[in-house]
Amino acid sequence: MFPVKELKRSALISLWFAFLTFPIMVIKVDPIERIVHWRWDNMFFIAFGSFVLSILAKVFMIQKERRASRKKRKIAAEPLIQRIAREPRFLYPLVVACFAFGVSFPFLFSTYQTNIMTTALMYVVLGLGLNIVVGVAGLLDLGYVAFYAVGAYSYALLNLNFDMGFWAVLPIGGLLAAFLGVILGFPVLRLRGDYLAIVTLGFGEIIRLVLENWNAFSQGPSGIANIPRPGFFGMEMTFAGGITYIYYIVLVLVVITIFVVNRLQNSRLGRAWLALREDEIACQAMGIDKTKTKLIAFSLGAFWAGFVGVLFAAKTTFVNPASFTFLESAIILSIVVLGGMGSIIGVIVGALILILLPEYLRALSEYRMLAFGAILVIMMVFKPEGIISNVRRSYKFKGTNTPEGEIHE
């Protein structure tokens, strides 16, 4: 029988949720007629729906705890999605199918859909870059948007003052952001947890305020317009052709980023990052240079953000400080947390969900952000480790006939 205590708790949750959504769901102002419409039926539906969802969630959690208590040994069937992420016989065909779909996407969908997918792929790269810092190295960075802004303004300012093209500035933007990542890394080497988050948050706001108030350098809040799109051997392209061209550039960058980040995670440096995330003291006791390891994580994460910043400036042809607020850092961090910290496939799925879902929920009109938030809350309740949690490698010796043995995953 369901506990009465949980029924009371679910009733309180439903009332609290109805109170929080009251201004959005119940009150509707008609500015033309100057009257207020009171939609009390919406309040009833919200309260009843949240009550039912709360009951179902609690039932699910109770059943999950009972199943876990019955298991004497922790030998469970691996979820299909994680098995696909690990086994080559599933992974390789899936990668080929996804790449083929990505290449043919502009020919299957409209220019508008291609433009949205380009933005989503840019956030995939940003998420993978932040995943190095937060997911693998365990350094909570809330000012990641600052490196994104450095890349965008690198292209805007170098093109404005020195007439440099996209392909010349692309590596420069990444290197400048990486250099800024090293500068940020030095003062915060001794910080961790919430203190590190506060300092990096302040750093991101400092960069935004400098860009907003230094008019002689960045043209202030007005921003920089008429930034040229990337060229292709001097060929003239239409608007639709330019969007498709940028899409393929971003797609290639996504493939390169996935390859590099995967190799980094499986390298000696990646194992040092994981050790740093788990226990800094033990990491240092094992002879790992903590300073160098942190600086490399900051600089590599910033490098990818600088790359995407240059692409952002080329895609929008306009940059201003309003595009690089704390909300951008929060979205990128949400991609990493929702997808699964340290998981490459999880970050990709999280970026596609967080960027594409609000666009495709436009049919819900003013309720779309409410539905979007509810989906995120439900996701974090039932899958707190992320959509696709990272699978840690385990090594063991197979046999003792050979001097070294065989190590396998």
Alpha carbons within 13 A on the beta-carbon side of 11: 6
Burial of 10: CB neighbours in 10 Å, binned 0-12, 13-18, 19+: buried
Judgement on whether residues 32 and 162 belong to the same structural domain of the protein: no
Q: What sign does the dihedral 46-47-50-55 (CA atoms) show?
A: negative
Query: Which residue among 70, 93, 119 closes a domain?
Result: 70
Query: For residue 393, is it within any domain?
Result: no
Placement of tokens 């409209």 in the chain:
110
On whether residue 30 sits in a domain, the answer given is yes
Rounded Cα distance, 390 and 383, in Å: 13
Q: What is the pLDDT of residues 186-219, one digit of tens each?
A: 887 777 777 888 888 888 889 899 999 988 888 8
Q: Are residues 53 and 88 in the same domain?
A: no
Cα–Cα distance between 169 and 43 in angstroms, integer? 53
DSSP 34-47: TEEEE-HHHHHHHH
Q: Provide the domain limits for residue 364.
A: 80-382
**Statement to judge: residues 52 and 125 lie in one domain:** no
Instruction: Answer yes or no: do 8 and 109 share one domain.
Output: no
Strand partners of residue 397: 407
Q: Is residue 182 part of a domain?
A: yes
33 and 156 in a single domain? The answer is no
Residue 84 CB neighbour total at 10 angstroms: 16
397 CB contacts (<8 Å, ≥6 apart)? 405, 406, 407
- The verdict on 48 and 85 lying in the same domain is no
pLDDT digit string, tens, across residues 245-304: 999 999 999 999 999 998 888 888 888 888 888 888 888 888 888 888 888 988 999 999
Average pLDDT over residues 85-103: 72
Q: Is the dihedral of CA 154, 155, 161, 163 positive or negative?
A: positive
CATH at residue 337: 1.10.3470
Indicate whether 89 and 25 sit together in one domain.
no
- Spatial distance between the Cα atoms of 24 and 39, rounded to a whole number of angstroms: 10
64, 65, 69, 70: CA torsion to nearest 10? -30
Residue 195 lies in a domain: yes
Claim to verify: residue 163 and residue 297 sit in the same structural domain: yes
Considering the domain architecture, whether residues 33 and 128 belong to the same structural domain is answered as no
Residues 51, 175 share a domain: no
Do 127 and 27 lie in a common domain? no
Q: 177 and 51, same structural domain?
A: no
* Model confidence pLDDT, tens digit, residues 314-367: 999 899 998 898 888 888 988 888 888 888 888 898 898 888 887 877 766 666
| Residue 41 resides in a domain | yes
Q: How many domains does the chain have?
A: 2
List pLDDT tens digits, range 126-179.
999 999 988 888 888 888 999 999 999 999 999 988 888 889 999 999 999 999
Q: State pLDDT tens for residues 307-321.
A: 999 999 999 989 999
